[in-house]
Structure 1
Amino acid sequence: MTHWLTAPILIPLIGGIIQVFMGYAPISLRRTLALITTVLMMVSSIVLLVMASDGSYRLYAFGNWQPPFGIVLVLDRLAALMLVLTSVLALFCHIFSLGGQDEGNRQFHGLFLFQLLGLNIAFLTGDLFNLFVAFEVLLIASYGLLMHGGGRTRTTPGLHYVVLNLIGSAVFLISVGMIYSVTGTLNMAHLAVEIPKVSGEELNIVKAGGLMLLVVFALKAALIPLCFWLPKAYARATAPVAGLFAVMTKVGVYAILRIYFLIFGDSAGALANLGMDWMFYLALITLSMGVIGALGADNLRTLVAWQVVISVGTLLAPIALGSTDGISAALFYLLSTTWTVAGLFLVANLVASQRGSAKDKIVTAPRMHNRTFLSVLFMVGAVAAAGLPPLSGFFAKVLILQSSLDSEQMASLWSVILIGSFFTLIAYSRAGSILFWRTVDGHVENKSPLTGTVSVSAGALVGLSLVIVALAGPIGTYTDATATQLKNPGAYIDVLNTPMVGGNP
């Protein structure tokens, strides 16, 4: 066992607890400690990525209990990738918040760190019940973050978000209970061993539990018809919160990848590939609905929120097909879309701060301040989001299209993604032309000049689409290896035989 696996959990946990007791400390001190915590978490995530790159699985068993007993953390390529994705995103969103977005709530930084705690537990946990616990931790923190800033505009969509996720949590717990009642275990590796043995009437119980789990993960991922809560909730959140929330739907995607390729994968017997046949078509419908929402958006933040829905559909379609190439392409797209969408949320906030009363509404207004800088940031983000060359979104979508060349669903996938990308481009072109080029006479008083923290963090997140292109070779190699690892779960199951400290080798 290696204690490094606990670092992404302990660092935000300790940092969050410290922030709880520092509510009345000077804000400069709270900001400094919070930023140090986020940086340390990113460093630990990079260390784990390097460790996972050798293709082996690493286990940490709390209390030295031999799996499947006790609480375990498991590190593989997918978990490491998600940790780095989240920590990089969190760092720049946290830096952006230092520009004033963290004011008005003494516990903002504590909630932010507890949110990261829940995310990291979800990516590292090796059993279903602690995945449920992780969801509750990150959701409780997200409730507070969603309300950050106050006002009725955040309360109403926040209430919808809370109610839906409470229902999802109840369904999650029921489904976990159903699976446990038959298999007697919730350890993921052990479930992968026990599920193929289930037969008779018990098979229907496990099948029902597995499908209920899929509904819960679809809610987290915002798959249609469970996606309509997202645009208003994300569009009303403060910029750093909305940016961090760009990874929230990806937790649902991660859970589907983890559970339905390990436990309900090709070797699950009668329950193999549970629910994947209809998920493909729901993903395409979700993508289409996201494009329609983007075309009808009346403000920039709502447009970007619908982009989150578009990305979910684009991600889950190749995953549902189940090929190694499709999973690899989806993971490549996952990196690109998460950072790009988060960057666009930050850019939308900067645009709103420079347009006076017009804010980020897609209407003509007097020329905004810092128009050249903001228009370049928006253009780069829009090009990456729509999937145009030469940025990362284009290469990711090409990989997704190529992965379906031998599939019966090739025509459906190609037509929806290509047509969807075209109309997404129209939506961004419309918004950009109105916001930056169609101006009316008048003057906007510049009460919110751009500072270095907000400019650098927004520019860095959007600019990561260029970094991904520059590192496309190594990233592609890593995602290929990750997809191969997911499709061959035997090594994950072998963590059950990992010797404990002081035990026999």
Structure 2
Amino acid sequence: MLQQHLAILPILIPLFAALLQLLPWGNRPQPKRRAIGLLASILTLIAAVALLVEVQQQDMLVYLLGNWDAPFGIVLMVDRLSALMMLITAVLALPVLIYGCYAEDNLGSHFQALYQFQIMGIMGAFATGDIFNLFVFFEVLLISSYALMMHGGGKFRVRATLHYVLLNLLGSALFLISIGVLYGVTGTLNMADMAVKIQSLTGDQAMLAKAGSLMLLIVFGLKAAILPLHFWLPQAYSTTTGVVAALFAIMTKVGVYSIIRVYSLIFGADANELALVAHDWLWIMGLLTLVAGAIGILAARDLRLMVAYLVVISVGTLVAAFSLSSAATTGATLFYLIHSTFITAALFLLADLMAFERGKTASRIVSGKKMANHSTYATFFLIGAIAIIGLPPLSGFVSKLMILESAAANGHNFWLWGAIIGATFVMLVAVTRAGSKMIWHTLSGKASEQSAPLGKRIALASLLSLTLLISIFANPIRQYTDAVADQLTDVDSYPVHVLKRAGGEHE
């Protein structure tokens, strides 16, 4: 019975947890809300692991909401890519929530419930097989993110959140328009069914579908923070709290996932004149985003801002590599996505801890007094720097090497190699400068007496340890990401699973 509903569990668990956390719970509600949140995160992680195992055996799980046949009813479509993204989210959510349970959730109202609603929205976006419900889950995660971004208050957060809200409201309106255009020419919202209908479009209908696809690219580019739609991210991520910024490390990946899903499945290689309609744009924008991120980290004078630009670099790398349209580069891209999500989240938490213990100098890249846990943070910073720059032997080096090797047979490999290696050098300079100023060049005098809780340091250490685990288990992880890429390439299998297995008729 549980196995039958496995596809929807990662959505239902955080939903019910959030509803429970909104209850009054007496005079001291926070410990109970924390317990509910932690239990929900553990159960979500277990469900995500079980889902990944099940997908490896069955290739794809199709769940019909209300038992309405596809393409007429709402359907969840969990393939290898969806299962991978849901597992990444669940693995990230648990240590970040543990970190947040050490008084971070007291800075604003309903943090715990908003956190679970955010996880629900992200999980739903990864699982849905319906493009309109992709919009719905986008709105769920965005509404939660608006409140979370303002968590703790402050004029800088309010200003950054205002920009973020206005841009995403425009993006949501454009999303609806593009969905309406695609529905108008295909008569369906089911992504697998739309992939079939798109192939038969010609003339004016094909041009309308192309217009709809390019409007979707703008929407997903905004969510992923691709140049020139990236300018909201550095200020938004650097001004919010460390725990929220760490969770938001997966938010840009929702945009990247949507690009991979839509432009592999609906506008894939067999879509006639609409084949790979966005890939040329993705190639150019990916490289420019990578360059913009590299310039940003050189100009950054705050560690949090520098990490935000590192997120921009990771997005540029992902988009540029995916645009090469080969199974090998897509597999390597997904490996890099796993690495970049965890390491940027860890660096946001590290920047938050260092800012707390440095006192007035906070996270500014200037010399400050010695921190209470100086040696611990020096070690954490060294591990994080090696991983994010891409130096051996950690996951950053492994993932970048995979991308460069897979791109070697492609005509654009010169530009990709140059951009990635150039960005790596810039990252080496910028991160080394930050470490030298903040850790090695400390002011003389008494060390800070402000010591962060041990639980926060353990949560950060658990995230940083993932970069080593990814390196150790690089081969099985790469085998899985290659299998994901192969499944994405085989677009004809999706209508078979979603329409025929679900009971719908495939025209």
Instruction: Please confirm whether the aligned pair reaches a TM-score higher than 0.5, indicating the same fold.
Output: yes
Contact 2:70 2:503 in 1 (8 A): no
Name the counterpart of 2:478: 476
Q: Which runs of 5+ in 2 are unaligned?
A: none
Equivalent residues in 2 for 1:407-418, closer than 5 Å: 407-418=410-421
The letter for the 1-side match of 2:178 is S
CA distance in 2, matches of 1:421, 1:445: 33
* 2:353 alignment partner, SS class: helix
**Structure 1 gap segments, 5+ residues each:** none
Question: How far apart in 1 are the matches of 2:322 and 2:58?
Answer: 21
Is residue 375 of structure 1 aligned with residue 373 of structure 2?
no
- Which residue in the other structure is 2:361 paired with? 358
| Partners of 1:375 and 1:359 in 2: CA distance | 16
Matched, 1:489 2:486: no
Match of 2:248 among 221, 245, 248: 245
- The answer on 1:97 being equivalent to 2:89 is no
How big is the shift at 1:499? 4.5
1:326 aligns with 2:329: yes
1:384-399 maps to which residues of 2 (within 5 A)?
384-399=387-402
- Whether the 8 Å contact between 2:191 and 2:266 is mirrored in structure 1 is yes
Sort the Cα spacing of 1:67 and 1:12 in 2 relative to 1 into closer, same or farther, 3 A.
same
Partner residue, 2:214: 211
For residues 61-140 of structure 1, what are the structure 2 equivalents within 5 Å?
61-140=64-143
Shift of 1:199: 1.1
- Tell me which of 440, 453, 456 is aligned to 2:455: 453
- 1:406 Cα offset (Å): 1.2
- Which residue of 1 is the match for residue 283 of structure 2? 280
Determine the structure 1 residue equivalent to 2:345. 342
* Counterpart check, 1:5 vs 2:14: no
**Residue 445 (structure 2) aligns with:** 442
In the alignment, what sits opposite 1:35? 38
Tell me by how many angstroms 1:361 deviates. Answer: 0.7
Give the counterpart of 2:185 among 182, 186, 196.
182
User: 1:160 and 1:23, CA in 2 relative to 1: closer, same or farther beyond 3 A?
Assistant: farther
**Contact 1:111-1:141 within 8 A present in 2 as well:** yes
Partner secondary structure for residue 53 of structure 1? helix
Q: Which amino acid aligns with 2:55?
A: A
* Letter matched to residue 81 of structure 1: L
Alpha-carbon distance in structure 2 between the residues aligned to 1:165 and 1:279: 20
Structure 1 Cα separation of the partners of residues 480 and 140 of structure 2: 30
Q: Match of 2:272? A: 269
CA drift at 1:443: 3.0
Query: Equivalents in 1 of 2:24, 2:334: separation in Å?
Result: 38
CA-to-aligned-CA distance 1:24-48 (integer Å, 9 cap, x gap): 6521111111111111111100000
CA distance in 2 between partners of 1:452 and 1:53 (Å): 38
Cα distance, 1:278 vs structure 2: 2.1
Offset of residue 150 of structure 1: 0.5
Contact 1:300 1:348 in 2 (8 A): yes
Instruction: Measure, in 2, the Cα distance between the counterparts of 1:22 and 1:107.
Output: 11
* Residue correspondences, number: 501
Matched residue type, 2:187 = G
Distance, in Å, in 2 between the alignment partners of 1:173 and 1:209 is 10
- TM (norm. structure 2) is 0.97
Q: For the Cα contact (< 8 Å) 2:71–2:499, is it kept in 1?
A: yes
SS of the aligned residue for 1:235 comes to: helix
In the alignment, the residues of structure 1 paired with residue 357 and residue 415 of structure 2 have an alpha-carbon distance, to the nearest angstrom, of: 42
Aligned to 1:194: 197
By how many angstroms is 1:105 displaced? 2.1
Q: Secondary structure at the match of 1:247?
A: helix
Deviation per CA, 1:76-114: give whole Å up to 9, x if none: 100000000000101011000011111132300000000
**Is the 8 Å Cα contact of residues 358 and 368 (structure 2) preserved in structure 1?**
yes
Measured after TM superposition, the shift of residue 207 of structure 1 is 0.7
Indicate conservation of the 8 Å contact 1:66/1:500, yes or no: yes
Q: Deviations over 1:460-482 (max 9, x none)?
A: 11111001011111101100100
* Structure 1 residue 444: Cα displacement: 4.6
More displaced, 239-248 or 103-112? 103-112
Superposition deviation, residue 441 in structure 1: 2.1
Contact 2:370 2:448 in 1 (8 A): no
1:257 and 1:424 mapped to 2: Cα distance? 26
Q: Does the 8 Å CA contact 1:356/1:444 hold for their aligned counterparts?
A: no
Residue 106 of structure 2 aligns to a residue in which SS?
A: coil
AA in 1 matched with 2:124 = I
CA RMSD of aligned residues (A): 1.4
